Chains A and B, each alone.
Chain A
Amino acid sequence: MKARVSVGHELMHRKNAVSFTISRRFIRVWQRNWSVYRKTWKVSFLPPLFEPLFYLLAFGIGLSSFVGELPYRGFQVSYISFIAPALIAVNIMYNAFFENTYTSFVRMYYQKNFDAMLATPLSLEEIITGEIMWGATKSVIATVIMQSVISLLGFIHYPQGVLILPLSFLGGFAFGSFGMFITSIMPNIEIFNIPVFLFITPMFLFSETFFPINHLPDWVQKLSLLFPLTHLVRITRSLSFGLLDSGLLWNLAYLLIFSLIFFPLALLKMHRRLIK
C-alpha cells in the first residue's frame, strides 16, 4: 500500500509543491501511542466508564421527571434513552479531538517526538496519519467501554447497535483530522481554548444531543446540520433504537466528506508547519 499525492499550484515549482508520502509504516506511530496507553490504561479507562453514568444520572434521572417522553421518529421515547446514544457520540468526538489537539500538540511541540521520528524512515505524513489513526482508536476504546455500560442499562438495541463500533472509528477519524488541522495552526497550547469554545462546545449543545432541534429558529437548525456531531448523533441514535434506513447514508456521507476535507488539510498544514 503506497500512495503518492502531490498538492500545489505548480508541480514544477518546488516551493509550492508538497509531496505526500504515506505507506503503512504509519502503524509504527500508532504502536508507539498504544504502548504508552497500555502503561496508563488502568487510569485512562475510568473517564469513559464513569462519565456516561454521571450524565445519565444528572440528565436522565434528574431531568426526565420534568421532560417525560419525547417524540422520536414517530415513537414516544423516554428522555434517558434519547440522550444515552448522544453521550456515546459526544464521547467519540471528545476522545479523538482532544487526543489530536492537546496531546498531539504536547508530543509535537514540547516532547519533540515528531522531530525524533523524522530522523527515521518515517515520513511526516505517516507520523500525522498514525496520530490521527490513534485518535480514532481512542474513540473506539472509549465507545467499547461506554457502550458496554449503556447496553447493560438496556438502552441499545442489538444487532443494529454493533454498527456503532465501526462508526466510532469513522467519527474518531473525522474529529481527529479536524483536531489535527487545529493543532497545525495553533501557535501555543493556551489558544486551544478558542476552537473548543467556538466549535466543540456549540456542537456539544446544539447537535440534537440533549433535545430535538426542530423547534429551534431556522438558522440554528441550518447551522446544526453543518456540525459533524449532528450527523454522528443521528446515526448513533438510530442504531441504538434499532432503526436502520437509507436516510443514514446521508449522515454517513457527511462524515466521510468532512474527513476527506480535513485529513488532507491536516497533512498539508502540518507539512507547512514542520518541514522547513
Chain B
Amino acid sequence: MEYVIEAENLRKVFNNFVAVDGISFQVYPGECFGILGPNGAGKTSTIRMIYGFSPITSGKLRVFGLDITKKWRKIRARVGVCQQDNNLDADLNVRENLEIFAQYFNISRKQARAKAQSLLKFIALEHRQDDEVINLSGGMKRRLVLARALINDPDLLILDEPTTGLDPQSRHQVWDRLRELRSKKGLSILLTTHYMEEASQLCDRLIIMDHGRILVEGKPADLIRHHVGHVVIEVDDPSPKLRIFVQNHNLKHEDLGHRLIIYGQNQDSGRLFQEIDDQFVDENCILRMATLEDVFLKLTGRELRE
C-alpha cells in the first residue's frame, strides 16, 4: 500500500537548534492525521518540510511516494496548504484571491473562475466575493484560506493550526467543512493543532510531539484509554486523608498541590467517585470523562512553554 506521507528518521536543524529530531511516521490515504504538541515542539517545522517549504536536514521524506528533495514541484501541485498566518493577498478581493492563486498552479482562467465560484459557495462567501479581504472577519478569512488551499483539488490537505484564534461558531464551521471534505472525497488531511478537542473530533490517528520527538502515536480513543483511562476525578484542595487513601489504593493520580487528579482506569470509577466524594471532600469534586487533553498534559507536562 502506498503511503501518502512517509517520514523516516526526519530531522530539521536550524543553526545548531534541533527542531525535529529524527521522527518517523506514515499517513495512509484518506486518513486525517494530527500532529499535536506544545509551542516549539516541532510541528510547524515538520509540516513545512512535507510541502517542501523548508529543506530537510537529514532523513527520508516521501509524499505520494515521491522524494520531496527531488520532486517538490510535483508534490506541491497535489497538495493544498493552510499556513498558520492568514496570508491572503491583501491587494486582491475575495474572488481574485482564489482565481489568481489558481494561476500559480497553471490552472486556466476559465477553470479557475468556475472553481472559485464553487469554492465560494462551499465556504458560504459568495455574497462577499467582491469585498476586499481586509474587510472580512477572522472566521471568514480562515474559510477563504481553506478554499484557497482547495483550488488545485489536492489529494493531501495540510492545515497548520486551522482554527487558532477563531470563535466557537467559526471553529465549528471550519470543522464541518473539513468533515464534509473527508467524507465526500477521501482526501487525506494532515493537521497540527493546540486544541485537543479539535484533534479528537477530526483525527483518525495522531502523534504527540515534544522537543522535536514523537512521544506517542495512535488513535485518540486508544491513547486516552491507554494513558489515562475512562474517567477523571478532580478534587480541589485535597485533604491529607485523601492523599493517604489514594496512596493506599494505589490509584493512578497526579498531585498538583492545590488539586488532585485521579485517573479512573476501569468501569468501577463511578463507585470510587462516590466514595471519595462522600468520605473526603466537602465540595469541588468532579467526575468527568477522560480526554485527550489529559493525555497531552500527562505526557508533555504542565509547565509553561516559551
* B89 to A, closest residue via Cβ: A113
A-contacting residues, B43-99, CB 8 Å: 51, 53-55, 73-74, 76-77, 79, 81, 83, 85, 87-92, 96
A32 CB to closest chain B CB (Å) equals 5
Residues of B within 8 A of A112 (CB): 83, 85, 87
Most chain B CB within 10 A, of A36, A112, A120, A276, is at A120
CA gap between A122 and B76 in the complex, in Å: 9
* A119 to B, closest residue via Cβ: B81
CA gap between A25 and B74 in the complex, in Å: 14
Give the contacting residue for B103; candidates A14, A28, A111, A113; CB below 8 A.
A28
Residues of B within 8 A of A28 (CB): 103-104, 106
Most chain A CB within 10 A, of B55, B76, B89, is at B89
Q: Are A111 and B101 in contact (CB under 8 A)?
A: no
Q: From known contacts A111-B91, A112-B85, infer whether A121 and B53 are also in contact, taking CB-CB under 8 Å.
A: no
CA gap between A118 and B89 in the complex, in Å: 13
Flag B138-152 by CB within 8 Å of A: 1 or 0 each: 000000000011001
Flag A104-141 by CB within 8 Å of B: 1 or 0 each: 00010001110111111111000000000000000000
Q: Are B87 and A111 in contact (CB under 8 A)?
A: yes
Q: What's the interface size class on A, roughly? A: 20 to 34
Q: From known contacts A36-B92, A111-B87, A113-B87, infer whether A121 and B105 are also in contact, taking CB-CB under 8 Å.
A: yes
Most chain A CB within 10 A, of B55, B83, B88, B91, is at B91
Give the contacting residue for A115; candidates B14, B73, B87; CB below 8 A.
B87
Counting CB contacts under 8 A, is B23 at the interface? no
CA gap between A119 and B89 in the complex, in Å: 14
CA gap between A64 and B148 in the complex, in Å: 58
Q: Are B14 and A276 in contact (CB under 8 A)?
A: yes
Counting CB contacts under 8 A, is B100 at the interface? yes
Give the contacting residue for A121; candidates B85, B91, B92, B104; CB below 8 A.
B104
A214 CB to closest chain B CB (Å) equals 46
Counting CB contacts under 8 A, is A35 at the interface? yes
* B79 to A, closest residue via Cβ: A119
Q: Are B96 and A120 in contact (CB under 8 A)?
A: no
Q: From known contacts A111-B89, A111-B90, A276-B54, infer whether A117 and B104 are also in contact, taking CB-CB under 8 Å.
A: yes
Residues of A within 8 A of B91 (CB): 36, 39, 107, 111
Residues of B within 8 A of A276 (CB): 14, 54
Residues of B within 8 A of A6 (CB): none
Give the contacting residue for A119; candidates B55, B74, B83, B88; CB below 8 A.
B83
Q: Are A121 and B106 in contact (CB under 8 A)?
A: yes
* B77 to A, closest residue via Cβ: A121
Counting CB contacts under 8 A, is A275 at the interface? yes
CA gap between A116 and B88 in the complex, in Å: 8
CA gap between A31 and B224 in the complex, in Å: 51
Q: Are A31 and B103 in contact (CB under 8 A)?
A: yes
Residues of B within 8 A of A120 (CB): 76, 101, 104-105, 152
* A276 to B, closest residue via Cβ: B54
CA gap between A112 and B160 in the complex, in Å: 15
Give the contacting residue for B83; candidates A21, A116, A123; CB below 8 A.
A116
Most chain A CB within 10 A, of B14, B92, B103, is at B103
A6 CB to closest chain B CB (Å) equals 14
B84 CB to closest chain A CB (Å) equals 10
Residues of B within 8 A of A39 (CB): 91
CA gap between A21 and B76 in the complex, in Å: 15
A114 CB to closest chain B CB (Å) equals 9
Residues of A within 8 A of B148 (CB): 116
Residues of B within 8 A of A25 (CB): 106
B194 CB to closest chain A CB (Å) equals 21
Residues of B within 8 A of A121 (CB): 73-74, 76-77, 104-106
Q: Are A115 and B104 in contact (CB under 8 A)?
A: no
CA gap between A119 and B84 in the complex, in Å: 12
CA gap between A36 and B90 in the complex, in Å: 10
Q: Are B92 and A35 in contact (CB under 8 A)?
A: yes
CA gap between A276 and B96 in the complex, in Å: 29
Flag A196-214 by CB within 8 Å of B: 1 or 0 each: 0000000000000000000
Residues of A within 8 A of B79 (CB): 119
A132 CB to closest chain B CB (Å) equals 18
Extra pairs beyond A28-B104, A32-B104 (18, CB < 8 Å): A14-B55, A25-B106, A32-B89, A32-B103, A35-B96, A36-B92, A111-B90, A113-B87, A115-B53, A115-B85, A115-B87, A116-B88, A116-B101, A119-B53, A120-B101, A121-B105, A275-B54, A275-B55
Name A residues whose Cβ lies closer than 8 Å to a Cβ of B: 14, 21, 25, 28, 31-32, 35-36, 39, 107, 111-113, 115-123, 275-276
Q: List 11 A-B contacts (CB under 8 A).
A: A25-B106, A28-B106, A32-B100, A39-B91, A107-B91, A115-B85, A116-B101, A119-B79, A121-B73, A121-B76, A121-B106
